[in-house]
Amino acid sequence: MKLTAEAKGTFAIAPTPFHDDGRIDERSIDRLTDFYEEVGCDGVTVLGILGEAPKLDATEAEQVAVRFVKRAKTMQVIVGVSAPGFATMRSLARASMEAGAAGVMIAPPPSLRTDDQIVGYFKQAAEAIGPDVPWVLQDYPLTLSVVFTPAVIRKIVMDNPNCVMLKHEDWPGLEKITTLRGFQKDGSLRPLSILCGNGGTFLDFEMERGADGAMTGYAFPELLIDVVNLSKAGKRDAAHDLFDAHLPLIRYEQQPGVGLTIRKYVLQKRGIIASSAQRKPGATITAMARAEVEYLLSRVARVDKRANLGPQSSAAG
């Protein structure tokens, strides 16, 4: 089923599993996909920024995307197709949709600076993938250095009927969500799904501002699902209490450069992927960092037993 503006819930951002020697680990892709479905994710997004997409050639990117799509049974799969040229973007988008993907995600190239450049780029990108392909607009200025004002987002969405979702990753960005929902109330913006990223760092309040859910990575997607569901049910304190227990580990995962290594290490520890390896160039987890992660896990486990993954440090005493 294709992605629509009604999409909501939790879409996990999937890392790309590799063997220690850098080869794509297809069996771990299968286990990871199964895991996301088993814990209740509504969807999964592959080949995002933390999916190490730039380290894959075109053939590998298509291989990874199709593997996830074919393995998923109930989840919608969104494929990141951002590329320097529209020919590569179009090719991956088409291959992914033909395999059964729900839609694609497009991020801006860092060279965009003016509002007109941003709007013009996405109009061309939408034309390149075709009007029949639903797509997600990725707003991630912290990494991509391209700043979208709410008015620019509105312009992109209104100019491109197949743009059905915003991946909101501005920081601070709570007021942006409020402004966009205000546009919808006054009729100047059509329906738009808003899912939030940034490792879930502000998910508790993003939900309260009107987000439809999460689209991000975290070693415990169950936490993201719970916070989204508790927030929707109006159980504010329960959502914040659970979120607060995980926040130190979420914060630790958000470290630039090493955060993906931390996430992969915990996923490996959980038995979901076989190796925490990144394809080079990439960071590796040090012995001291592993010890810190173990300590953080032991503290999370005081509240959420799902984080009890092995020998506990003194924090669990």
pTM score above 0.85? yes
- Given a cut of 60, whether residue 313 has pLDDT beyond it is no
> Residue 181 is which amino acid?
R
Taking residue 63's Cβ as centre, other Cβ atoms within 10 Å add up to 16
- Given a cut of 60, whether residue 311 has pLDDT beyond it is no
Q: Distance between terminal CA atoms of the chain?
A: 48
Per-residue pLDDT at 49: 86
**Tens digits of per-residue pLDDT, 151-182?**
999 999 999 999 999 999 999 999 999 999 99
Per-residue pLDDT at 310: 73
Mean local confidence (pLDDT), 185-198: 98
Q: Give residue 283's pLDDT band: very low, low, confident or very high (50, 70, 90).
A: confident
Q: Give 158: exposed, middle or buried? Use CB within 10 Å, 0-12, 13-18, 19+.
A: middle
> Residue 149 is which amino acid?
T
Per-residue pLDDT at 238: 98
Query: In this structure, are strands 76-80 and 103-106 parallel, antiparallel, or unpaired?
Result: parallel
- Given a cut of 60, whether residue 315 has pLDDT beyond it is no
Per-residue pLDDT at 134: 98
Per-residue pLDDT at 244: 98
- Given a cut of 90, whether residue 316 has pLDDT beyond it is no
Contact 36, 75 (CB under 8 A): yes
C-alpha distance from residue 84 to each of 110, 121, 180, 194 (Å): 10, 12, 29, 25
How many alpha carbons lie under 13 Å from residue 69 in its C-beta half-sphere? 25
**Tens digits of per-residue pLDDT, 17-31?**
999 999 999 999 999
Per-residue pLDDT at 14: 98
- Given a cut of 50, whether residue 210 has pLDDT beyond it is yes
**Tens digits of per-residue pLDDT, 39-69?**
999 999 999 988 999 999 999 999 999 999 9
Residue 32 structure tokens:
């990871």
**Tens digits of per-residue pLDDT, 231-278?**
999 999 999 999 999 999 999 999 988 999 999 999 999 999 999 999
Percent of the chain with pLDDT over 90: 95
Contact 203, 196 (CB under 8 A): yes
Looking at per-residue confidence, does 211 or 314 come out higher? 211
Residue 48 structure tokens:
């995002």
